Amino acid sequence: MNVTIATATLPKTGALILPAVEGTSLLPTAEAVDKAMSGGLKRAMKAADFKGKAGQVLDVVAPEGVGVSRLYMVGLGAARSVKQAGLETAAGTMVARLNAARVKQASIAADPIADADLSDADIAAHLAMGAQLAAYRFDGYFTKQKPDQKPTLTKVSVMTKAQARAKKAWEIQSAIAQGVYLARDLVNEPPNILYPESFAKKCKALTSHGLKVEVLGEKQMEKLGMGSLLGVGQGSVRESQLVVMRWEGGAQNAKPVAFVGKGVTFDTGGISLKPGAGMEDMKGDMGGAAAVTGTMLALAARKAKVNAVGVLGLVENMPDAGAQRPGDIVTSMSGQTIEIQNTDAEGRLVLADALWYTQDRFKPRIMIDLATLTGAILVALGEEHAGLFSDNDKLSEQLAEAGKASGETVWRLPMGDAYDKLIKSKFADMRNIGGRNAGSITAAQFLNRFTNGVPWAHLDIAGTAWQSGAKPTSPSWGTGWGVRLLNRLVADNFE
C-alpha cells in the first residue's frame, strides 16, 4: 500500500477519513465538509451519538455535497490525551475498516489539534505511520486466495497544510516502518526457510542500505572460545552463525551503542524436549535477533547520526545424537564455565558469548540485549509490556521513557545478590537455570555475568515478539516489537 503526504484539498474520489476529538467543535476539515453537506455531517453525528471518543467510528455512505463515495469519522478522545499511539491506532483501525468495505483509496485529514502535545507535521506523520503499519501482510505462502481475502486499499493520502514539514517527518517514520516490516517478516518466516545461514544471508543483503555486515561461522567461533553458543547448536545440521552489523553515522571513533539479539531460529528444547502442543510457535524464538536487525535497518534508512552495532547469535536447538545434554559443562568465551541443567534454557547460553564478544570487541557506550527468553515473563506481564532488567538506573529510565513515547512499553523487575545465588552450581562457575521461582530474574542474573561492567539492559520480549490476536497497527502474528523502542531510545539520547 502506498502512503503519501498530500495537500489539504478535499478529495473528489475514494473515502475521506475525518479524525475528531471529544468535547470540542469539529476540526477544520470536518467543518468544511459539514458546510459542503449543508449540516449533514453534524446531523449524522447526532443520529449516531458520535462524540469523538477514542475508538468510535461513524460511517456515512454516499454523502451528499462532497465527491467522495464514503465518509468516516474516527474518534481520538480528549485533545489533551492525543498521543502518537492514539493517532496510529485510529489510522490503523480505519485501514482494516476500509479493506472490509472494499475501498481502494482513501484520504485522511490531518488537522492541527489544539491542546495536543504534537505539531501538525507530527500528527500527519503518525497518521501515515498507523496506516502503513496496519497495511502489513505476510501472505506469500498462500497459493490461492479468495478476492475477499485480499486487501483492496492501495493508496492512502494524508492531507495537511504543513506538507513540507510533514513529508520530512514521514520520511523518518517510513524508515522506521521498513525496520518493523523486516522484523515482522523474519519472525513470521517458517523455520525450514529461515535458519542461521539463511538469516545471515538476509543480513548481508542490508549492505545495500549502508550497513557493514560480517558473518562468523563455527570455526571462527571455536577459535574465539564460544563454547556456550556453539553447544546449543551442536545437535542441528544447520551451522550456527554470529552476525555483526555496523552503522557508522556518528563521529569517527565515537563509541557505539550496541544491540544484541537472541536468534534461535527454531527451538525444540533440545534433549529437554518441549511439549508438542504449540511447538510450531518456536519458529519465533529469534524475535530478539529480528528486532535488532530491524533496528539496524531503521537507523541506516533514516541516516541516524550515531554509531551502532547489532550482534546476532543465530542457532537452531535440535535433539539429535550429538546434541548437548543436561549435565554437560561448557566453557564460554569469557572463560567462565556453565553447567547445563536444562537444554531448553538455551537462549541465555547464546547471549552469554554474544554479549561478551560485543563488549570485548566494540567497547560500547551501552549494551542492550533482546530475547524471547522466558515463559515466566509472559505469566508476569502478559503481552502488554516487555520485561526490563538492568544494572544501570539511567539506562533503565531512558528505556522506560522511550517505551512510553513509542508505544512499546517496558516494566522493570528487580535483580540482586539473592537471585544471583540461585544459579550457583556444584560443579561449575554457574548453572543455566535457577529453579522454578523468579525464572525471568535468574535468567537476567545469568546474562549480567557476561556484560563486564558495561551499562547494560536485558529486554525479555517473550510476551511481545508475537501475539495471540491482531491489533490495529499490528495485524500479523509477528509484531516487530523492539524496533520502535530502540530507535526512539537512540534518537532521544545518543544522536
Residues 88, 190: Cα–Cα separation, whole Å: 29
- CB of 68 within 8 A of CB of 12? yes
**Residue whose entry in the numeric block shows the C-alpha cell 504534537:** 118
Residues 6+ apart with CB under 8 A from 200: 215, 241, 243, 312, 314
Residues 396, 366: Cα–Cα separation, whole Å: 11
The pTM of the whole model exceeds 0.95: yes
Residues 20, 426: Cα–Cα separation, whole Å: 64
Strands (E) located in 169-301: 212-216, 241-248, 257-267
Output the nine-digit C-alpha cell for 264. 534461535
Output the nine-digit C-alpha cell for 342. 536444562
Residues 399, 409: Cα–Cα separation, whole Å: 9
In the chain, what's the furthest Cα-to-Cα distance? Answer: 83
Q: Cα-flanking dihedrals φ and ψ of residue 405, to 5°?
A: -70, -35
Q: Tell me, what's the pLDDT at 146?
A: 85
**Phi-psi region at 67: left, alpha or beta (left = phi > 0; alpha = psi -120 to 50):** alpha
- C-alpha atoms less than 13 angstroms from C-alpha of 482 in its C-beta half-sphere: 39
The one-letter code for the residue type at 167 is K
State how far the alpha carbon of 421 is from the alpha carbons of 19, 166, 441, in Å. Answer: 55, 53, 12
Residues 335, 474: Cα–Cα separation, whole Å: 42
Strands (E) located in 167-319: 212-216, 241-248, 257-267, 307-317
**Residue whose entry in the numeric block shows the C-alpha cell 509484531:** 479
Residues 210, 26: Cα–Cα separation, whole Å: 46
Hey, which residues are catalytic here? 274, 348
- CB of 349 within 8 A of CB of 338? yes
Residues 6+ apart with CB under 8 A from 18: 26, 27, 29, 30, 33, 41, 71, 72, 73, 74, 109
Q: Tell me, what's the pLDDT at 181?
A: 98
Is 262 part of any known ligand binding site?
yes
Q: Cα-flanking dihedrals φ and ψ of residue 307, to 5°?
A: -95, 125
User: What is the spatial order of strands in the sheet that 257-267 belongs to?
Assistant: 212-216, 241-248, 307-317, 257-267, 366-371, 456-460, 386-390, 410-412
Residues 6+ apart with CB under 8 A from 190: 141, 283
CATH superfamily ID and name for 178-493:
Zn peptidases (3.40.630.10)
State how far the alpha carbon of 346 is from the alpha carbons of 234, 273, 457, 465, 489, in Å. Answer: 12, 12, 19, 18, 28
Q: Cα-flanking dihedrals φ and ψ of residue 43, to 5°?
A: -65, -40
Closest of 49, 122, 51 to residue 87, by C-alpha:
122
Is 34 part of any known ligand binding site?
no
Output the nine-digit C-alpha cell for 44. 449524522
Q: Tell me, what's the pLDDT at 474?
A: 97
Domain boundaries, the chain: 2-158, 178-493
Residues 471, 468: Cα–Cα separation, whole Å: 10
Q: Does domain 2-158 have CATH number 3.40.50.970?
A: no
Is 346 part of any known ligand binding site?
yes
Torsion of CA 202, 205, 209, 211, to 10 degrees: 80
Check residue 445 and report its DSSP letter.
H
**What is the mean pLDDT for each group of 10 consecutive residues in the chain (495 residues)?**
96 96 93 96 96 96 91 96 96 97 97 94 98 97 88 97 98 98 98 98 98 98 98 98 98 97 98 98 98 99 98 98 98 98 98 99 98 97 98 98 96 98 98 97 98 98 96 97 98 98
Closest of 189, 340, 180, 366 to residue 260, by C-alpha:
366
- C-alpha atoms less than 13 angstroms from C-alpha of 63 in its C-beta half-sphere: 32
Residues belonging to the chain: 495
Q: Tell me, what's the pLDDT at 24?
A: 80
What is the CA 481 to chain-centroid distance, rounded? 2
Residues 270, 473: Cα–Cα separation, whole Å: 35
Torsion of CA 14, 95, 58, 108, to 10 degrees: -60
Residues 343, 317: Cα–Cα separation, whole Å: 9
Output the nine-digit C-alpha cell for 250. 556518528
